Structures are given as structure tokens and as C-alpha cells.
Amino acid sequence: MIQIIRTFMSLMLLICVNAQLRAAEKGKGLGDGHDGNRSSISHVITLYDEKDVEIKPNVSQPRPISMRNTCGKCHDYDAMASGWHFHSGSTNALSGRVGEPWVLTDTRIRTQIPISNRGWKGAYKPSDVDMSAWKFLKQFSSHFPGGNYGEMVPSDDDEDADPEEFLRWPISGTYEINCLACHHADRKQNQSDAALQAARENFRWAATVASGLATVKGAASELDDFYDPETEYEIVTNYDKSRFDANNKVFLDIVRKPPSNRCYYCHSTQDLQTPGKDEWVHNEDVHLASGMSCSDCHRNGVDHMMTRGDIEPNHKNPHSSNDYLKAFDIKKVASYSCSGCHLGNESGVDAANKMGGHLGAPIPEHKGIPPIHFEKLSCTACHSGKLPENKTSRVRTARIHKLGLHGRHTMNKQLPHVVTPVFAKAENGKITPHNMIWPSFWGLKTNGVVKPLPPSLVREIASDALGVETDNPERINDWIELSEEQIGNVLKLIGEDYSNETDKDKVSLEAIYVGGGNLFSLSDDGKLISVPHEAAEPYKWPIAHDVRPASQSLGSNGNCADCHSQDSPFIFGEVEVDTPINPGEEETVPMTQFGGLDPLYYQSFAFTFLFRPWMKVVVIIASVLIGLVLLLFALKGLDRIVKMAGKNK
Amino acid sequence: MFRDISYSIFVIIFLGMVMHIVADLVKGKFDSKSKGQLHKFWWIGWSNGLSCFSKLKRIVLIVAVTCLIVMFITAFSGRLAANQLMTGYILMIHVGTAPVFIVCTVFLIVSWGYQCRLTENEWGELLNRIMLKPASHENSMLFLKLTFWFSMGLSVPVSLSMLASMFTIFGTHGQEVLFNIHQYTSLALVSSVVIHLYLLLRNQYK
């Protein structure tokens, strides 16, 4: 009997657990999707901490909000974590169109390395520079949406992990996806505060503080390795009690479509021709100026795979990455590209998509522009970015130059110099405006493959040779000048440091420096040599914003000379070469080099445009004369027909 | 589509000419003149005693035909071989040759137009042919003259279709229509000129 009762009880217990798990699963994703009602949903919600305990502001030592547990109650957190903003650190990160990288900079050792885990050409993976998830956060979390590297806590059996990091992660906590960073429309949402918390290694608190719901005192970075976050309370969270109702619920102004203001925090670009006090002269992207938001075009579903505007109608595979295309519903996504909206998507899923005109997008007439242009140029070539000038100019971007940090942690980074617009061929073969940086780094060439050395290691090896400790070194063009003698000395030091490894593994290790498009190394007799090298090529990524109004587009009003003149910056512009070696010299390379264009041909072609007006006149006169003679004889023929017809009574 | 149509038309024209030559050979029509009597430039209608203007007319004809050949090769070679449109230097040669051709065409229509008008007999033949009645065609110049006028007529839309695209009048769709007009009228022009030249040479040799 007892046996039966025991079995029955166990069975009941199992059923209860199963029911609870199912209920939890049922709740997951409850808020995803759309029931068809267009009114926004009021989010008066209970907040939960990382232990899934309801947050009450009046208790002592309340913990910060966990997005996973709070938003995850109704939304599928894991589905969102697979989105474009959150999966780059994973082993199967999608590649797709080359994008803006993270840039690891250390001006003292004259280093700027494009970093991305997406396998983009010219960018190095974090692991290439011994950058763990922790180090990545330390370096780049000022402009970071959370998730991704923020949740890559090393497992206990990870033998490669830094022991110190094992100790620091529990103190700082994970940096969960900060849903509010994008979806919180409240003007109190302040990502600069999130950046400040991240700088203090308060990753667990970043989202809470940025939301304006609480303030935090204390910095994880100042706590010793053996601080116990479960029992010690050096970091204190103070919630704004006025934001909580009687049921300890909080109203969060959550919107489905993130306002552009949220996107701008990480995706701003500053034109350095008119910075500072002249900032007011800048225009916005023409789409935003007309009342649209970023997310009107860059849409996504629950999976948060934002459309990037790069998959266009009739271009089935614009990238080398097939997986990237598989991640999108191409027919739908293509309808929200430039041409999808403005020209229609012939392969669209419905009549509206085929017709185009989303959100009132006007159908461009492109009067006087031969269709060949649309095969050779991207839409952005004529419509986006800065209007080209004889020499490329510079911009700063929010992520690379850490723009948008207010107050005490404001930065004024000038390096790396991002040059723009560079008209280069994109992966789809079309000429497209790009932003570009010239990589500079110390590294090793192993059996012909170049990899950068972690800047921290170079600092250790060659601190004196590079003058790392020098106070207020002189800067030319924002760089601390690097002489060829210094390069030689540092390469020797690096070579010596790795000589044991070379002997041991019998591999060909060569210390190198990359800068200004050249790869520097030491010859067998110890002399510095430099050669152009693939690894030293500039890293460039296509840009699409700001989109200029049609009247400011290249070739507007049929002005062919915008591009087809002998001094057109679009074709014959000069691209700045940025390097710490002789930084005062204004070195440039021709734009045609990046567009894969034959300068002689384009000079000749531009030359023919001088005669085009004459040709028009000649052809018009000739056509009129031919027409008149034809008319003359046609009338004579008609006369004969009339006469012949008249003879027949 | 255009490539297939072009291939078809050129094959039809070529086969038509071959059949025509064979038929003439079978009938012995090329026996009337011995080769010794022909001027070495007989193929352009050159003969002793031509006036300066007559010589000029023939030279201009040569220039026009040369321009047309250049434009034909630049435009059709890539299209027929690989269905590729002209780009680069090929395009520049094509565009550079066009004005010369059109100027020559003006000269040709003015200078040859009177000679190419239809005579009483040719009008009769034309009307008979239109009404599907039997018509005498011994030594008839009707088709030679018709292809002349047809070529001259086609040179206008060929020129204007490209000229119009250089103005800010037509948008993308209009540009595509103009391009189609240009390529199809060019095909018709080339076909007409080939037939005309064939008939001209045949007429000169007979």
C-alpha cells in the first residue's frame, strides 16, 4: 500500500512540475507578435531581479532589474538574443554585408585594429588579439546593447579563461540585453549612464540606471576580487519610489518601434568639417526630416534580425554569406530596401510590395540618367553620405569615437581617423560610398598570415621604445609620430620576445608593423623594409546615411558633370592615407583605386562630355535636314499617288 | 530577346542573299560584263570621268558605310556573342562615330535623293506589288531605292532616340523605351543598309 502511495505521490509531483514548466513556456513569448490592435500597449509591469524575485523599492538592498526575467516574462528573450545586435560573439555569427567594426585603439602604441567576429575582410576577431568576453566589455561596452559578450561568462571548466575574470564576473554581473536601450521611449532613458556603469564594471546595474528608475552608488571595479555580492552591499541600488504604484508596479513607456533617438546613441556620425559650434548647420537624413524613423525601414520581427537595406530586389545574393540570406525572408526584406520602397519589388509577396511606395516613398524619375547607372552604382552612391570633395573628409562615429558620453566621462577621441566618402566597389560589384580607416598595429606574420598582437602585450614589450610613459607627447595630426627607427627597434624587441617560440615550434614568425597601407618588417640584415600588403589595406564599410534630398544628389537635374568631368571628386577625388609615420605629410591615393576604375578611360570619357553639346546640335540639325528631305520626297510621292488615284474615274 | 531577333534577321538576310546570288548564277545574269571592263573601284560605282562632286558623293558613301560598320561591330559584337551591352572604350568609339555617320547621312540624302526617287515605271511596279499583281522586275531599281529611303528614314529615330536620352526629359522608364527604340531601329537600319549595299553591288557588277 505504502509503495502504491509513494508511486502515486511521485507521479503527482512529476505532473505538477511538468504543468508548471508548461505554464512557464506558455507565458514565454506571450507578448510577442501582434493581435491586430494598433494602439500601443501600456507596460505597467512588475520588475524582477536576476534571481527572479519581484523588485520592491522599499526593501533594504533591492537588486537591479534583470531584463531576462522582467521582459522575458512575456517576450521570448532567447529568440531576441539571436538578433542582429546580439549574436556577433557567437561561434556562428552571420557575416553579410561588411559593417562598421569595433576599433581597438591605443594611441600610445600607434595601434588601431578593426575588430569583428563576423569574419569581415580586414577585421580581426576578438580572439585574434586575446580578447575575452570580459575584455571586450571593458573595451567596448560604452555603446553596447547588452547580451552577446555581456552574457558569455566563462564556464567552470574553461581552462583558457583568465582566473581573475572568474572572480570579476560575479561581482559585476552579466550585461543582459538592455531592451530599454531601444524600446524605452521615456526621455529619461540615458545610455550615457549605462556607459558610466559599464566603465565602473557595474554591468548588472547598467540597464537599471540608464532607465532612470534607480541610482547606484559604488563601483565594481573598485572592489577586491574576493568581494561577495551575495552578502556584501558595497554597491547600493536606490529606486525612485515615486515610479512604483501601490502594487510595486512600474509604468515603462515601451514602444514597439524604437524612436530614432535611441538608435542614434550608437549609430551617430559626426561630420568633422563642421563640428562643435557649427554643429547646428547639419541636416538630418531626409527620411527622418520627413518624419520617418530608423525602424520604418530597418524593421524586424521577434527574432530581431533587423533588415539592413542591403538585400535588394533582383539581387538574390549580394554577399558571400549564404547563411546571411537564409536568416531573412528575402522577398519581404527586399521590399524595404531603397529600391524596394522607391521602385517596388517585382518579386514581392503582394501587390503593394510589387508597386513600392511604402510610407509614401516617391517613385524617382531619374530624368536624363541612362539605366546603366543603376547597374554600376548603388542608390547610395548618388544619394548618401557627404557630397564628395576633392579630398575625402573625416567623420567620427558614436561607437568608434565613443560619442554621447556626457558629464565627467566625456571623451574627445580623434583617432582613428575615419575618412569619407570613399567610392569603392561593394561586394555586389556596385560602386558605393564607404567610410574607411587605415589599420595600424604591431603583429606577427606566421607562415604568411598576419595577426595583430594585443596592445597590452606590445606595451609590455616596447614601452620605452614607444615612449608609452612620456607625459603629454607632441601630437601631429592627432598622432604621436612614429619614426622608422622606432619601428625597427620595436620589431627587434618583438622578434626577440618571440624568438624562443620560433625555435621551439619551428614556425616562421616575423614581427611586423602595419601602417599607412604598408607592412613593415626587418630584413635578414636587420634593415627596415616596407611593402604593400593585403593586411595593411584600409578597412572600409558601406554607408547609406545620411540620405540627402534628391536635389542634392549627384547627377540631379541631369548634371552629368557631377561625375563625368575631368576633376570630378566622385571619380578623381583623393583619399587620405592615415598613418603615424610622418603624420604631417598629406599622403593620398586616388579614388579610382578603390572603385576599380581606369583613370585614363574616365579622363577620356569626361573629355567627350566637352563635345556633347556640339554633338547634340549637330545631330538635331542633321535629323531636321534628313526629316525635311524625307518630307519633300514623301510629299512628291503623295502627289503621284493622288494623281494616279485621280486618273481612275 | 533582342539577341535572338538579331540572329534571326541576320541569318534570314544572309540566306536570302545567298539564294539570290545562286538564282542569278543559274540564270547566267553575271555574264554581261567582263571583269576587264570594270574599274577597280567598281563596287562603289566609281568610273572614269566622274565629276568632283560625284567622287565626293561616293567617298562620303564609303565613310558612312565605314561608320556604320564600326557602330555595328561595337554595338552588336558584344550583344551577339555574350549578350553584353557596350561599355568603356567600345562605347566611346560607338558614340564618337555616330555624329560622323549622321552628317554623312545628311549629305547622302541630299546628294542621292534625287537619283533615288521612283520613276513612273517603278511607281507602277510598286503599286502592282502592293496590290499583289504580277510586276516586271527586269533591271528594276525599285528595291534598291526603297532600301535607300528606308535606311534614310530609319536614321532619324536611331539618332533621335539616343539624342533624347541625353536631355532631362525622360525618366528611367522613358530611357529604357528610348534604348529599345534605338536598338531595334538600329537593327532595322543595319538590315536595310546591308540589303541596299547588296543590291547596289549586284547592280554595279551586272
Residue type, A127: S
Can you tell me the distance from the alpha carbon of A29 to that of A574, in angstroms, rounded to the nearest whole number? 52
Residue A546, preceding peptide bond in cis (omega within 30° of 0): yes
- How many percent of chain A have pLDDT more than 70? 93
Q: Which position has the higher pLDDT, A316 or B16?
A: B16
Across the interface, which of A366, A558, A604 has its CB nearest the CB of B92? A604
Average pLDDT, chain A: 88
Share of chain A above pLDDT 90, in %: 61
Interval B121-146 mean pLDDT: 81
* Range in A435-439, A507-511, B113-117 with the lowest mean pLDDT: A507-511
Domain coordinates in residue numbering, chain B: 2-205
The whole-number pLDDT of residue A3 equals 66
Q: Find cell 556596385 and name the residue.
A: A430
Backbone φ and ψ of A455, nearest 5°: -55, -35
Taking residues A263-284, report their average pLDDT: 86
Q: Does residue B166 carry a pLDDT above 80?
A: yes
Give first-to-last CA distance, chain A, whole Å. Answer: 127
Residue A16 has pLDDT above 70, yes or no: no
**Which three cell numbers, joined as nine digits, stand for A522?**
626587418
Band of the pLDDT at A489, cuts 50, 70, 90?
Answer: very high
Whether B125 shows a pLDDT value over 90: the answer reads no
Q: What is A131-165 written as a DSSP string?
A: --HHHHHHHHGGG--SSGGGG-PPPTT-TTS-HHH
Comparing A21-30, A498-507, B183-192, the range with the smallest average pLDDT is A21-30
What does the pLDDT average to over B119-137? 80
- Alpha helix ranges (H) inside A235-350: 260-267, 286-289, 294-297, 322-326, 330-333, 338-342
Residue A643 near chain B (CB below 8 Å): no
Answer yes or no: do A557 and B168 touch at CB < 8 A.
yes
Q: How do the domains of chain A map onto residue ranges?
A: 1-30, 34-86+145-255, 612-649
What cell numbers appear for B112 in the block? Answer: 542621292
Chain-chain contact of B110 with A625 (C-beta, under 8 angstroms): yes
Q: Return the sign of the alpha-carbon dihedral for residues A473, A477, A482, A484.
A: negative
Backbone torsions φ then ψ of A302, nearest 5 degrees: -60, -30
Average pLDDT over every residue of A310-332: 74
Confidence class for position A577, pLDDT limits 50, 70, 90: very high
Contact B102 A623 (CB under 8 A): yes
Q: How far is CA B93 from CA A287, B46, B74, B157, B187, in A?
A: 42, 29, 7, 20, 18
Closest CA–CA distance from residue B119 to any residue of chain A (Å): 10
pLDDT of residue A20: 47
For residue A595, the distance in angstroms to the closest alpha carbon of chain B comes to 15
- pLDDT (tens digit, 9 = 90+) per residue, A80-130? 998 999 998 888 788 888 999 999 999 999 999 999 999 899 999 999 999
Q: Tell me if A112 sits within 8 A of A101, measured CB to CB.
A: no
Residue B142 has pLDDT above 70, yes or no: yes
pLDDT (0 to 100) of residue A317: 62
pLDDT over 60 at A352, yes or no: yes
* DSSP output for A63-87: PPPPHHHHGGGTS-HHHHHTSTTT-
Does pLDDT of A33 surpass 90?
no
A44: helix, strand or coil? strand
Residue numbers of B between 52 and 91 with CB closer than 8 Å to A: 85, 87-89
Asked if residue A540 has pLDDT above 60, the reply is yes
Residue whose entry in the numeric block shows the C-alpha cell 558605310: B65
Kindly report the nearest CA distance between residue B168 and chain A, in angstroms.
Answer: 4
Cα A252 to Cα A321: distance, rounded to the nearest angstrom: 39
Closest by Cα among B156, B129, B143 to B192 = B143
Cβ contact, residue pair A626, B155, below 8 Å: yes
Is the per-residue pLDDT at A143 higher than 50? Answer: yes
- Alpha-carbon Rg for chain A, nearest whole angstrom, is 31
**Euclidean distance between CA atoms B139 and B133, whole angstroms:** 18
Distance (Å, whole) CA A605 – CA A599: 10
Contact of A294 with A182, CB cutoff 8 Å: no
* Architecture of the domain made up of B2-205: Up-down Bundle (1.20)
| Distances A368 to A136, A376, B138, B173 between C-alpha atoms, Å | 50, 16, 51, 11
| Candidates A364, A605, A640; nearest CB to B92 | A605
Q: Is the pLDDT score of A23 beyond 50?
A: no
Residue A8: predicted pLDDT:
60
Predicted ipTM? 0.90
pLDDT reported for residue B39: 64
Which residues 6+ apart lie within 8 Å of A21 measured at CB? none
Q: What local confidence, expressed as pLDDT, does residue A230 receive? A: 85
Contacts of A644 in chain B (CB under 8 A): 123, 127
**pLDDT, position A13:** 53
Chain-chain contact of A558 with B176 (C-beta, under 8 angstroms): no
> Of the candidates B113, B159, B179, which has its C-beta nearest A619's C-beta?
B159
Please check the confidence at residue B40 and state whether its pLDDT lies above 90.
Answer: no
Say whether residue A645 is in contact with chain B using an 8 A CB cutoff.
Answer: no
